[in-house]
Amino acid sequence: MRSPVLTFPASRSGRWLLPLLLLVGRSLAAPEADPLQPGEKAAGDWIKVRLETARLESQWLSEKPLMESLVGSMKERAQALEERRDLLTAKTAKDRDDLEALKAKNQAALADLHAAEAGLQALAAKLQELRPFLPPRLSEALELSYRSIGNPNLGAGERMQLTMTMLNRCLEFNRTVTSGEEVLAIEGGGAKSLEVIYWGLGRGYALDREAGQAWSGAPGPQGWQWEAHPGAAPAVARLIAIYNDKADPDFVAVPAALAPLPEVAK
């Protein structure tokens, strides 16, 4: 089906009618923008900003006295805190000086403690080196002390007490004459019970009554050493009898030899 075709008469009036229709169609198809619309929008925005500014100014004017009072109170509080700080600083000046002095004393005491611990450890090491040169009876009596003093985790106080105990035991043993039966292994033989008498830390005698043998003992280069003395058994037996009050006191000649002390014992 064909579309209808508009036809206009070719007359004088038709010459202006066509442009007029085109102009009206254009105006109906795309109306022109209102030139006053941007101005109206800007005026509306300005009014909104002005109203918000007025509201903020009014709010500030109403809250300004409160804010000023808060600022004043904060300044007064800050000044009071500063004065309190200065007062406490003045009051605690002596305490701080005493604290610094105490801190210095503690540091000095700590240094002394470290030095004492080092000295005790060195002394314990010397005691360990000295053990082979002690009389066998004393060395056996100090077995537990030697085990304890060898503990690296031992405290300074315990190490000091243990060291002094060992030294006192050695000093007491050195000041007395000690006698009794003792199990010894002499001259590479098996261990057997012997009668032994010690003169302090430097001399001892052992007696085997059944075998009629006697030995003298003393610290040597490699530790405590026993030396056999044939024919000395009667003298050693008399010496032990006098100690046990089984014979009258008398001078007894027993073998002895003077030797230089071991280097560790000096």
Report percent pLDDT > 90 for the chain: 27
3-class state of residue 208 by DSSP: strand
Q: Evaluate if residue 56 carries a pLDDT over 90.
A: no
Instruction: Report d(CA 90, CA 107) in Å as an integer.
Output: 26
Q: Please check whether residue 158 lies inside any domain of the structure.
A: yes
Residues 144, 236 share a domain: no
Q: Which domain holds residue 221?
A: 177-265
pLDDT score at 42 = 81
Q: Evaluate if residue 197 carries a pLDDT over 90.
A: yes
Q: Evaluate if residue 221 carries a pLDDT over 50.
A: yes
Q: Please check whether residue 21 lies inside any domain of the structure.
A: no
Q: Please check whether residue 2 lies inside any domain of the structure.
A: no
Residues 259, 156 share a domain: no
Q: Evaluate if residue 7 carries a pLDDT over 50.
A: no
Angle made by CA atoms 106, 109, 113, in degrees to the nearest 5: 135
pLDDT score at 48 = 85
pLDDT score at 33 = 61
* Distances 224 to 134, 221, 227 between C-alpha atoms, Å: 6, 8, 10
Q: Please check whether residue 76 lies inside any domain of the structure.
A: yes
Q: Please say which residue of 127, 150, 175 terminates a domain.
A: 175
* pLDDT tier, 19 (very low <50, low <70, confident <90, very high otherwise): low
Q: Please check whether residue 40 lies inside any domain of the structure.
A: no
Residues 167, 94 share a domain: yes
What is the widest separation between alpha-carbon atoms in the chain?
A: 184
Q: Please say which residue of 115, 145, 175 terminates a domain.
A: 175
Report percent pLDDT > 70 for the chain: 82
* pLDDT tier, 17 (very low <50, low <70, confident <90, very high otherwise): low
Residues 111, 162 share a domain: yes
* pLDDT tier, 206 (very low <50, low <70, confident <90, very high otherwise): very high
Residues 166, 78 share a domain: yes
pTM: 0.56
Residues 162, 81 share a domain: yes
Residues 181, 165 share a domain: no
Instruction: Report d(CA 38, CA 207) in Å as an integer.
Output: 135
Residues 170, 181 share a domain: no
pLDDT score at 16 = 46
What is the count of structural domains for the chain? 2
Give the full edge-to-edge strand order of the sheet including 223-228: 177-184, 192-199, 203-208, 213-220, 223-228
Residues 134, 69 share a domain: yes
Q: Evaluate if residue 43 carries a pLDDT over 60.
A: yes
Residues 159, 78 share a domain: yes
Residues 185, 169 share a domain: no
Indicate the helix (H) or strand (E) that contains 108: helix 93-130
Q: Please say which residue of 150, 175, 200 terminates a domain.
A: 175
Residues 171, 93 share a domain: yes
Q: Evaluate if residue 2 carries a pLDDT over 50.
A: no
- Judge contact between 206 and 226, C-beta under 8 A: yes
- Judge contact between 198 and 159, C-beta under 8 A: no
Calculate the CA 150 to chain-centre distance.
Answer: 23
pLDDT score at 21 = 52
